[in-house]
């Protein structure tokens, strides 16, 4: 079914300019999310978090449980560790009678309240300090029992398949172990931590990939990393240690209780991460940080969340209410890693739970998630971060930008080591220390095979995805005016790699470095993971062109950025002339965008031929005069065959960007519909894991594009792919610091404003 709202765009686009100096309305704060019955297990948990810490909270058999996760808590094999499970009980137990039970996520202030009878438990995570707070209030007296539960109480050999959670993936060496944590009770306080040895998977990978001579100069986030914390409460005292089983996994429990029955009680769990060979150094730093805990912290956290919600919102009624609610819940989950030392992972973020509830065949510990803990897959990560521009959350993008900036020296060292040329070579799957995943690189590879290339049919020659993060950085400047000078070396070196490397490959094949038009020959390339051994893949060409055009625009607007940069404005123009045109083809009389000039095989189901629509935005509902993009959507047989709403599929985004209202509505309704678990934004596993964050991110993007788009000239298009019979109210961001608010009621725009 073909459908478009294009006829409305010009009229509404003109109207949008009327209120350019208008005052935005009061913030539409999100509703609380409430359950009125306990849960069966951890798969029915509710997310809670702040700063860089996430909890999965649920009530089961009369006890409150929560898992603790923190950004960057990697072990020596590069598993992203849970920091333990906490169990809270009350005697007498108010949660046995569930007639008045309530578990309430207060999105407005970032807290959670669990109530039954006359008892209230309030949990919140400090946004500015890695501290978890639990507060009990009751009209009657109860004894509070608190247990810290760990499944890492002893060294343990990993089971077959379990190493999918770390960098070994399917190729773990025989006898690979997960090393135990350390637990110590001192003065009724529990210290718990995991301490990595000096040698980790980082060292093994460097030797595997011929980087051992640079090993002392490369970024290494794993050596001697200590991740853990301290559980303490003013009226808690240590009782004993016991053993148990949860979700088929054995655990050991350190048990505490209040000395007597009380009406109120509070305990905290302060977390700390540090690279040190001495646990005593880590412990001293943790205790020092605890001294900064203040009775003003809760208000500061609540104020941050209030400000967060004030940036943007999308709220609909009727049959659109579910998708806007789930958009909001997922945005909240992204907000819980605002200040992480590592990016929010696409395969679960901070909120994974016991894996047997995702896949009964993978009954491993709560640390498990498929596709690794410290391995970052760029095609998936990008979908987590693109929506943050329009939601006004550009500050949340810093962990992802810093990830690449830290790894720039390693990426440049790879180019020098393997090919003796300049530029930064970032692979599609990049470890948190900058080298390709060792199992994807290949443990059994021919000696003669190019050491810079992954010996992998899906990932070979795929290194263009870094360009999307370069563009995100540039767009952050265009949207917010943020100073991005520290990231310009990353952007320029990433582009420089392509001009250097493909000239190098051409000179290896023949006498000339360029083709007959004095342009690069991008071969071998890769059009996503789909069209392999590609010649001039369209996603690479569109990406290089867009990044260079935006870089030129940003430098023109900020002359100070040209000082000390790799490219002058004149050189940027010269580089643009090196980029070949986007390939097109004709099938059955329809001119359309081609994946590449040619390719040798198809490996996956991505559709790079529509990447010029998104993320590169050369085609939209207003700019498709030759109908290349829409013809590609409707008539390319692979595009039709691969269409889906699941996981990282982005057909919902393409449809919205092209103004195909009926298709965009159908796909985004499927994408942002309730997930398979009790918390509706726990989607997945899709192609990856649960909660599927690239599913949620692509859903956010698709919904945003239905409501607001921007042309290359900066014209804002209101409701370009939104059904005009569905009421909606939104506030979103655009370039130039513009904040757009609009409300659609009964087919009419009754409120529209634009401000800064």
In whole angstroms, give the CA distance from residue 302 to residue 323: 25
SS3 465: coil
When pLDDT is averaged across residues 388-393 and rounded to a whole number, the result is 98
pLDDT(15) > 50:
no
Question: Domain for residue 135, yes or no?
Answer: yes
pTM value is 0.96
Of 752, 756, 748, 750, nearest in space to 717 by CA: 752
Question: Domain for residue 159, yes or no?
Answer: yes
For the chain, percent of residues with pLDDT exceeding 70: 97
Report the domain count for the chain: 1
pLDDT of residue 21: 39
What residues are paired with 63 via a beta bridge? 60
pLDDT band, residue 641 (cuts 50/70/90): very high
* Cβ atoms of residues 165 and 367 within 8 Å: yes
Question: Domain for residue 352, yes or no?
Answer: no
- Write out the residue range of the structural domain in which residue 148 sits: 33-298
pLDDT of residue 729: 97
When pLDDT is averaged across residues 579-597 and rounded to a whole number, the result is 97
Question: Domain for residue 324, yes or no?
Answer: no
Of 373, 384, 372, 367, nearest in space to 42 by CA: 367
Question: Domain for residue 220, yes or no?
Answer: yes
Question: Domain for residue 461, yes or no?
Answer: no
pLDDT(688) > 70:
yes
Question: Domain for residue 633, yes or no?
Answer: no
pLDDT of residue 120: 97
Contacts (Cβ under 8 Å, ≥6 apart) of 152: 81, 178, 179, 180, 181, 194, 365, 367
Token pair belonging to 365? 């510990």
For the domain that residue 197 is a member of, what is the CATH number? 2.70.98.50
When pLDDT is averaged across residues 284-300 and rounded to a whole number, the result is 96
Long-range contacts of 287-294 (CB under 8 A, 24+ apart): 287/230, 289/129, 289/130, 290/131, 290/230, 290/232, 292/129, 293/129, 293/131, 293/268
Question: Domain for residue 679, yes or no?
Answer: no
pLDDT(439) > 70:
yes
When pLDDT is averaged across residues 443-455 and rounded to a whole number, the result is 96
pLDDT band, residue 23 (cuts 50/70/90): low
When pLDDT is averaged across residues 728-744 and rounded to a whole number, the result is 97
pLDDT of residue 27: 77
pLDDT(81) > 50:
yes
pLDDT(436) > 50:
yes
pLDDT(484) > 50:
yes
pLDDT(16) > 50:
no
Backbone phi, then psi, for 718, in 5-degree steps? -95, 130
* Cβ atoms of residues 255 and 311 within 8 Å: no
């Amino acid at each position: 079914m073909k459908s478009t709202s294009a006829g409305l765009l010009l009229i509404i686009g003109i109207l949008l300019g009327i209120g350019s100096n208008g005052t935005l309305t009061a913030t539409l704060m999100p509703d609380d999310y409430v359950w009125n019955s306990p849960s069966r297990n951890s798969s029915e948990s509710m997310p809670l978090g702040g700063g860089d810490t996430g909890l999965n909270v649920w009530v089961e058999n009369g006890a409150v449980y929560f898992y603790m996760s923190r950004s960057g808590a990697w072990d020596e094999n590069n598993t992203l560790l849970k920091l333990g499970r906490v169990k809270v009980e009350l005697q007498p137990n108010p949660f046995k009678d569930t007639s008045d039970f309530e578990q309430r996520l207060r999105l407005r202030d970032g807290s959670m309240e669990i109530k039954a009878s006359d008892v209230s438990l309030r949990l919140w995570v400090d946004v500015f300090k890695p501290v978890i707070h639990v507060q009990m209030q009751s009209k009657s007296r109860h004894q509070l029992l608190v247990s810290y539960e760990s499944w890492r109480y002893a060294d343990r050999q990993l089971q077959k398949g379990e190493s999918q959670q770390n960098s070994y993936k399917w190729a773990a060496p025989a006898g690979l172990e997960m090393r135990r944590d350390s637990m110590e009770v001192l003065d009724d306080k529990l210290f718990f931590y995991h301490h990595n040895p000096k040698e980790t998977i980082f060292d093994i990978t460097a030797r595997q990939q011929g980087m051992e001579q640079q090993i002392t100069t490369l970024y290494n986030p794993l050596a001697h990393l200590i991740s853990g914390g301290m559980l303490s409460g003013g009226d808690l005292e240590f009782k004993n240690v016991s053993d148990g089983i949860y979700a088929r996994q054995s655990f050991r429990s350190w048990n505490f209780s209040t000395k007597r029955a009380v009406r109120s009680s509070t305990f905290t769990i302060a977390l700390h991460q540090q690279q040190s060979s001495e646990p005593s150094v880590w412990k001293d730093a943790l205790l020092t940080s605890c001294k900064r805990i203040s009775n003003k912290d809760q208000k500061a956290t609540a104020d941050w969340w209030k400000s967060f919600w004030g940036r943007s919102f999308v709220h609909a009624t009727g049959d659109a209410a579910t998708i806007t609610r789930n958009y909001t819940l997922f945005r909240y989950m992204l907000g819980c890693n605002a200040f992480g030392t590592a990016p929010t992972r696409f395969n679960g973020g901070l909120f994974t739970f016991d894996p047997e509830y995702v896949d009964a065949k993978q009954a491993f510990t709560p640390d498990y998630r498929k596709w690794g803990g410290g391995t970052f897959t760029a095609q998936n990560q990008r979908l987590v971060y693109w929506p943050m521009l329009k939601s006004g959350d550009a500050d949340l993008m810093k962990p992802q930008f810093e990830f690449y900036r830290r790894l720039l020296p390693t990426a440049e060292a790879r180019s020098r080591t393997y090919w003796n040329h300049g530029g930064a070579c970032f692979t599609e799957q990049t470890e948190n220390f900058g080298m390709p995943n060792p199992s994807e690189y290949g443990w059994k590879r021919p000696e003669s095979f190019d050491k810079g290339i992954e010996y992998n049919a899906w990932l070979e020659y795929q290194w263009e995805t870094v360009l999307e993060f370069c563009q995100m950085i540039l767009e952050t400047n265009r949207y917010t005016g943020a100073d991005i000078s520290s990231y310009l070396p990353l952007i320029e070196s990433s582009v420089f790699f392509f001009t250097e490397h493909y000239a190098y490959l051409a000179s290896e094949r023949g006498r000339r470095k360029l083709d007959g038009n004095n342009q690069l020959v991008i071969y071998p390339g890769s059009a996503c993971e789909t069209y392999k051994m590609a010649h001039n893949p369209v996603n690479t060409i569109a990406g290089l062109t867009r990044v260079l055009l935006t870089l030129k625009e940003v430098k023109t607007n900020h002359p100070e950025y040209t000082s000390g940069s790799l490219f002058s404005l004149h050189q940027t123009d010269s580089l643009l002339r090196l980029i070949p045109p986007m390939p097109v083809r004709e099938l059955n009389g329809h001119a359309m965008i081609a994946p590449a000039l040619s390719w040798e095989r198809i490996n996956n189901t991505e559709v790079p031929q529509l990447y010029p629509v998104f993320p590169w935005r050369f085609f939209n509902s207003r700019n498709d005069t030759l109908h290349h993009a829409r013809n590609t959507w409707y008539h390319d047989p692979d595009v039709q065959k691969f269409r889906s709403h699941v996981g990282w599929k982005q057909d919902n985004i393409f449809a919205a960007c092209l103004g195909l209202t009926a298709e965009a509505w159908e796909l985004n309704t499927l994408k942002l519909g309730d997930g398979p678990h009790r918390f509706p934004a726990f989607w997945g596993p899709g192609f990856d894991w649960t909660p599927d964050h690239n599913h949620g991110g692509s859903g956010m993007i698709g919904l945003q594009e239905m409501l607001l788009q921007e042309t290359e000239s900066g014209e804002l298009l209101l409701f370009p792919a939104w059904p005009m019979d569905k009421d909606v109210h939104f506030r979103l961001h655009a370039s130039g610091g513009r904040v757009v608010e609009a409300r659609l009621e009964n087919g009419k725009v009754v409120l529209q404003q634009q401000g800064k």
